[in-house]
Amino acid sequence: MHVGVVVNPIAGMGGRVGLKGTDGKLAEARERGASPRAPDRARRALVRLHERRPDLRISTAGDPMGERLVREAGFDPDVVYRPDPSAASSADADGDDDAEDPYADPGTTAADTRSAVSALLDADVDLVAFVGGDGTATDVAGVLEETDTPMLGIPAGVKVYSSVFAVSPEDAASVVVSFERTERREVMDIDEDAYREGTVSPELRAVVSVPVADELQSAKQLGGGTVEALTEGFAADVDPAVTYVFGPGSTVAAIEDELGIDPSPLGVDVWRDGEVLARDAAESEILDALGEENEIVVSPIGGQGFVFGRGNPQLSPAVIRRCSVTIVASRSKLDDLRVLRVDTDDPDLDAELAGWTRVRVGAFETRMMRIVA
């Protein structure tokens, strides 16, 4: 099999610093101290891919769009496209470990992604595996939509609404080596400016061929079900000594409303004993606001089941490790989920979170659900 690999090196940079995306916000993300997320996600997928199929033929783009990562994983790739050298790093083409880190200040654009995919198509790859979010998926699909060449996303963006993504980087590698057929699936994207104001309106951008395997996540975003009893019960149990970190989502927002908090649209709020300590907080602000006892309150994404790793990167491993975790959801949402999922960028933490857990579904009622990493 001949696999094409392309990495969007800035994907997901805005998430952990509270920007809910990077579209048009790269400079601000850097000012807030954001660091690239996509290279580590790509590295995890490529290492697992080499473990499973070291004989694969790989074509990729020059740094910072994949070359070094592919070589580090153990492959000897064909480099079919190089981004503008004035924007990209001056790292050695042979991936010399002593060269400057090509991901420290990535300078690629959406046009580079489209050009790289076009070059992979010209190289006659059997599959394009890309690292990014819905914006990257839209760029890749713009080139591939009218072809039969399938695409598979390795999730690294803040927004992952499209059904072209694997559940995790490691699962992406499993899909590449195990799929036997493809089907047409939707690429969705949203307006990030509207998203930052609390409006989520995914729009269909393309329909493309995608490898079919159990590891692929659904794109549907499901809600529904009453949460009144849940919110009242939670409010009655609030401990004034605990610092609560409220994640995004309508169920958690209903709890905040019950507590008299004006929830930030799709953001993370920190609250203790009647006082909002941080609103729409970035990772650093959350860490600064934490106390001796801390509790994260999150609800899974309907239809997908992600508790961490989709839409809430501010809840980083550093934050999670300092908190207990309470998962809340309506019964109807859980009825549509077989399992819950986590994808925190820290495989060790994912493993610690995995297993059976109680999800609060009412004033007193809980339901056992299994978390898988």
Q: What is the CATH number of the domain that holds 29?
A: 3.40.50
- pLDDT value at 260 more than 50: yes
Confidence of residue 203 (pLDDT cuts 50, 70, 90): confident
- pLDDT value at 14 more than 60: no
- Residue 218 forms part of a structural domain: no
pLDDT at 91: 36
- pLDDT value at 30 more than 60: no
Unique residue bearing structure tokens 């394009």: 128
Same structural domain, 236 and 206: no
- Residue 276 forms part of a structural domain: yes
- Residue 130 forms part of a structural domain: yes
- Residue 219 forms part of a structural domain: no
**Sheet of 340-342: strands edge to edge?**
275-278, 269-272, 243-246, 294-298, 324-328, 355-360, 366-372, 340-342, 306-308
Same structural domain, 103 and 155: yes
What are φ and ψ of residue 3, in 5° steps? -110, 130
Same structural domain, 255 and 195: no
- pLDDT value at 16 more than 60: no
Same structural domain, 90 and 193: yes
pLDDT at 220: 45
**How many helices (H) does the chain have, and how many strands (E)?**
13, 16
Q: Which of 14-18, 65-69, 296-300 has the lowest mean pLDDT?
A: 14-18
- pLDDT value at 228 more than 50: yes
Averaged pLDDT score across all residues of the chain: 84
Same structural domain, 110 and 40: yes
- pLDDT value at 20 more than 50: no
Q: Which of 143-152, 178-187, 223-232 has the lowest mean pLDDT?
A: 223-232
What are φ and ψ of residue 270, in 5° steps? -120, 130
- Residue 220 forms part of a structural domain: no
Residue numbers of the domain that contains 185: 2-211
Which residues, 6+ apart, have CB-to-CB distance to 312 below 8 Å?
A: 247, 248, 268, 298
- pLDDT value at 66 more than 90: yes
Same structural domain, 198 and 247: no
| C-beta separation of 165 from 157 below 8 A | no
Q: Which two tokens mark 29?
A: 């993300």
Residues 113-163: tens digit of each pLDDT: 999 999 999 999 999 999 998 889 999 999 999 899 999 999 887 667 788
| C-beta separation of 3 from 131 below 8 A | no
Which run of H or of E encompasses 111?
helix 110-122
| Residue ending a domain, choose from 211, 240, 256 | 211
pLDDT at 226: 59
Same structural domain, 178 and 283: no
Tell me which residue of 77, 76, 79, 69 sits closest to 46, measured CA to CA.
69
Task: Provide the percentage of residues in the chain whose pLDDT is more than 70.
Answer: 79
Give the residue, 297 or 266, on which the prediction is more confident. 297
| C-beta separation of 159 from 21 below 8 A | yes
Residues 308-350: tens digit of each pLDDT: 988 898 999 999 999 999 999 988 888 888 899 999 999 999 9
Confidence of residue 18 (pLDDT cuts 50, 70, 90): very low
pLDDT at 373: 83
Instruction: Say whether 195 sits in a helix, a strand or coil.
Output: helix
**What's the whole-number mean pLDDT along residues 186-190?**
80
Q: How far apart are CA 6 and CA 151, in angstroms?
A: 11
- Residue 216 forms part of a structural domain: no
| C-beta separation of 60 from 93 below 8 A | no
| C-beta separation of 318 from 349 below 8 A | no
| Residue ending a domain, choose from 211, 246, 268 | 211
Residues 159-170: tens digit of each pLDDT: 677 889 998 899
pLDDT at 128: 98
pTM above 0.75, yes or no: no
Same structural domain, 196 and 239: no
pLDDT at 54: 97
| C-beta separation of 110 from 118 below 8 A | no
- Residue 105 forms part of a structural domain: yes
- pLDDT value at 223 more than 70: no
Question: In 321-361, which ranges are continuous DSSP H helix?
Answer: 331-335, 347-353
**For the purposes of burial, counting CB atoms within 10 Å of the CB of 279, is it exposed (0-12), middle (13-18) or buried (19 or more)?**
middle
Residues 81-121: tens digit of each pLDDT: 999 866 544 333 333 343 455 555 556 889 999 999 999 99
Report in angstroms the alpha-carbon separations of 205 from 121, 138, 303: 20, 6, 20
Same structural domain, 17 and 115: yes
Same structural domain, 152 and 254: no
Tell me which residue of 121, 129, 103 sits closest to 6, measured CA to CA.
129
Which run of H or of E encompasses 286?
helix 283-289
pLDDT at 217: 54
Same structural domain, 203 and 63: yes
Give the residue, 43 or 180, on which the prediction is more confident. 43
Helix axes 110-122, 134-144, angle to 10 degrees: 40
- pLDDT value at 19 more than 50: no
Unique residue bearing structure tokens 């019964």: 331
Same structural domain, 317 and 233: yes
How many folded domains does the chain comprise?
Answer: 2
- Residue 223 forms part of a structural domain: no
